[in-house]
Copies of this chain bind each other. A is one copy, B any other.
Amino acid sequence: MGKDKKLNAEQKIIEAAADIFETKGFEGARMQQIADKAGINKALLHYYFRSKDLLFEKVFLKLAGKIFLKFIETFNIEGSIFDKIEMFLQIHQDLLYKNRKFPIFFFNEITRNPDLMRKLMLNLEISKKFQEITKQFDQEKKDGIIRQDVEVSHLIVNIISLSVFPYIGSPAIKEIMKEFDLNYEQFLDERRTMIAQFVINSIKV
């Protein structure tokens, strides 16, 4: 029986809060519900985190930080640009698949409060990572491996758009697919290989 046999209150709160906030959003979440889920009293939330705002910020930065860390790790993949894109998409898709509720939550919260994005970037040095990958891709372009009219910033946004949007738009896609007896889970699965193919076709010379 290690120290995690019984998590301390602070840790239990953070886990419960992450779950409630991710599902309901900051505005929709209730402190009572978080306390219930953590199995502790509501007053304890304020004892540890002072206010809903502060609890949210801590939880948001921790959760988003964890996910973005895994996300930017993939920038270090070695190999040709095509290998990089395929590997990047594989890992990225896995990450999304395991954190389906995260994208809409994340983008909604940073829309409500863009300062959260700024704070997240300071924590993770995201800009630096983007600069690195941009430089790598630009080199591949100079070497004539990909089309000369491919603009790297757009390529990156395109890759992310193609993999993230199906999760953000899932209630809409699901509802439309239901009409035609199509399976959303299968649809997501097909995209795992399809997206890489789609991107590579569009950039190769």
* Chain A 102-137: CB-based contact to B (< 8 A → 1; otherwise 0): 001001101110100110010000110011000000
Main secondary structure of the interface of A (DSSP, over half): helix
B161 near A166 (CB under 8 angstroms)?
Answer: yes
One of B25, B112, B162 near A162 (C-beta < 8 A): B162
Shortest Cβ gap from A32 to chain B (Å): 15
Evaluate whether A112 and B153 lie within 8 angstroms (CB atoms) in the complex, with A158-B162, A164-B165, A175-B118 already known. no
In the complex, the chain B residue whose C-beta lies closest to that of A182 is B153
Is A139 positioned at the interface, with any CB of B under 8 Å from its CB?
no
In the assembled complex, the Cα of A173 lies from the Cα of B108 at a distance in Å of: 14
Q: What residues of chain B lie closer than 8 Å to A201, measured between beta carbons?
A: 147, 201-203
Binary B-proximity of A168-205 (CB < 8 A = 1, otherwise 0): 11111111110110100001001100110111011100
Count this chain's copies in the assembly.
2
B114 touches A104 (CB 8 A): no
Bound-state CA distance A161–B117 (Å) is: 22
* A151 lies within 8 A of chain B by Cβ: yes
CB distance from A143 to the nearest CB of B (A): 19
Known pairs A161-B161, A165-B165, A179-B127; A107 contacts B104 (CB<8 A): yes
Separation of A157 and B130 alpha carbons in the complex (Å): 26
A28 at the interface (CB under 8 A from B): yes
What are 10 A-B pairs with beta-carbon distances under 8 A?
A27-B27, A107-B169, A110-B172, A117-B175, A127-B176, A127-B180, A130-B179, A151-B190, A161-B161, A201-B202
Interface residues of A (CB under 8 A from B): 24-25, 27-28, 104, 107-108, 110-112, 114, 117-118, 121, 126-127, 130-131, 147, 149, 151, 153-154, 157-158, 160-162, 164-166, 168-177, 179-180, 182, 187, 190-191, 194-195, 197-199, 201-203
